[in-house]
């Protein structure tokens, strides 16, 4: 069995996760790619990402005295087919100091297909100086499933409060579930020109337009400043898997640009290749 990854397991990189689920790929696929294409490992890593479901997990700490925690918080998502296993919530996208009183933190969780989300378990390891935690709610958005679910809690996860539990199983509030048209993954390949000064360190974004005036949100291709420095170098090819609104079978045009700023923001773009990845792998 071959399980390509080619992604960071680091709090400060990629989606901030330090553990990943990987699915096997055919041995011939690995060998064929390694013979033909110098970029093959990265491409295989993106294939893994395309097969995964990405969840945006928002966690609200209550606005009570001593509500915040310094303990290590984890979550498990349980679906109709499988569960994610224990996922550490280490890299908040909003706050450097996470799980503080009255604050909302946001995390990215990736998993292979677990089916419809049924419940979650969330808790902490009770380690550190201030461990007790008052959890207001958890919200989980799965763009590829077209669902955003709210898990109300409103209870302490504290050895000396409430029932003394430091982990809880929570079910979604059906009336607060938001359904929308599922997003689809697009494989976006960006070719930077081979001329002097062609590369950029700016924040590059893209918008896709379909027929009948349908368009996606504006989406940055890099997740952080380090990626901005790594990608879009002169004569480079960079590939991304981006979940966006489905604009249909025909992409009539795209809008691609950057937000300027910095020393090397000017960019000479050669071309962009886009492939819409449907669930059956086409």
The DSSP annotation for the chain comes to -B----S--STTSTTS-S------B-HHHHHHHHHH-TTHHHHHHHHHHHHSEEEEEEEEE-SSTT----SPEEEEEEESS-B---EE----SS-SS-S-TT-EEEEEEEES---SEEEEEEEE---SSS--EEEEEEEEEETTTTEEEEEEEEEEE-TTSTT--SEEEE---GGG-EE-PPEEEEEEEEEE-SSTT----S-EEEEEE-GGG-BPPPEES-SSHHHHHHSS-TT-EEEEEEEEE---S---EEEEEE---SSS----EEEEEEEE--TT--
| Residue 8 pLDDT exceeds 80 | no
Same domain, 34 and 77: no
Q: Are residues 114 and 193 in the same domain?
A: no
Q: Are residues 137 and 205 in the same domain?
A: no
Asked if residue 174 and residue 212 are part of one domain, the reply reads no
pLDDT at 282 over 50: no
Share of residues in the chain with pLDDT > 90 (%): 56
Query: Where a domain ends, among 179, 199, 216?
Result: 179
CATH code of residue 113: 2.60.60.20
Asked if 67 and 141 sit in the same domain, the reply is yes
- Among candidate residues 154, 179, 204, the one where a domain is terminated: 179
Alpha carbons 189 and 39: distance in angstroms, whole number: 12
User: In residues, how long is the chain?
Assistant: 282
Q: Within this chain, do residues 174 and 272 fall inside the same structural domain, yes or no? A: no
Structural domain includes residue 45:
no
Give percent above pLDDT 70 in the chain. Answer: 89
Model pLDDT, residue 21:
73
In a domain, 43, yes or no: no
- Residues 26, 57, single domain; the answer is no
* 33-47, 123-137, 202-216, range with the lowest pLDDT: 33-47
User: Greater confidence, 173 or 33?
Assistant: 173
pLDDT for 224 = 83
User: What pLDDT, on the 0 to 100 scale, is given for residue 38?
Assistant: 46
Q: Domain check: are 18 and 91 in the same one? A: no
Q: In angstroms, rounded to a whole number, what is the distance separating the alpha carbons of residues 25 and 123? A: 34
Domain of 240 in residue numbering reads as 2-38+183-276
Average pLDDT over residues 167-187: 93
Task: Please state the domain count of the chain.
Answer: 2
Tokens representing 255 are: 């809008």
Does residue 58 sit within a domain? yes
Based on the fold, state whether residues 165 and 249 are members of the same structural domain: no
- Same domain (yes/no): 258, 222: yes
What are the C-alpha distances in Å from 89 to residues 18, 72, 167, 250? 10, 8, 14, 38
In a domain, 281, yes or no: no
Do 169 and 60 belong to one domain? Answer: yes
Domain C-terminal end among 149, 164, 179 = 179
Instruction: Please tell me the least confidently modeled range out of 36-45, 90-99, 177-186, 214-223.
Output: 36-45
Q: What is the pTM of this model?
A: 0.79
- The reply to whether 22 and 132 lie within a common domain is no
Chain segment 104-150, per-residue pLDDT in tens: 999 999 888 898 999 999 999 999 889 999 999 999 999 988 999 99
The residue-averaged pLDDT of 245-271 equals 87
């Amino acid at each position: 069995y071959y399980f390509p990854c080619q992604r960071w397991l680091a709090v400060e990189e990629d989606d901030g996760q330090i553990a990943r689920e990987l699915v096997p790929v055919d041995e011939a696929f690995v060998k064929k790619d390694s013979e033909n294409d110098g970029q093959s490992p990265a491409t295989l890593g993106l294939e893994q990402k395309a097969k995964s479901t990405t969840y945006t997990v928002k966690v609200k700490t209550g606005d009570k005295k001593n509500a915040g925690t310094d303990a290590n918080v984890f979550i498990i998502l349980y679906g109709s087919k499988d569960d994610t296993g224990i996922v550490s919530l280490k890299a908040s996208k909003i706050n450097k100091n996470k799980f503080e009183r009255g604050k909302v933190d946001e995390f990215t969780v990736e998993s292979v297909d677990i089916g419809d989300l049924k419940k979650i378990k969330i808790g902490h390891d009770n380690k550190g100086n201030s461990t007790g935690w008052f959890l207001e709610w958890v919200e989980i958005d799965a763009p590829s499933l077209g669902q955003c679910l709210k898990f109300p809690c409103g209870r302490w996860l504290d050895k000396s409060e409430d029932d003394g539990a430091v982990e809880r199983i929570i079910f979604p509030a059906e009336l607060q579930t938001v359904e929308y048209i599922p997003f689809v993954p697009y494989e976006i390949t960006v070719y930077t020109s081979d001329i002097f000064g062609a590369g950029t360190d700016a924040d590059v974004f893209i918008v896709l337009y379909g027929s009948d005036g349908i368009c996606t949100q504006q989406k940055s291709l890099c997740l952080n400043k380090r990626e901005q420095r790594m990608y879009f170098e002169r004569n480079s090819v960079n590939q991304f898997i981006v979940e966006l609104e489905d604009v249909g079978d025909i992409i009539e045009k795209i809008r691609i640009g950057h937000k300027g700023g910095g020393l090397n923001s000017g960019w000479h773009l050669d071309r962009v290749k886009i492939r819409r990845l449907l669930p059956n792998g086409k």
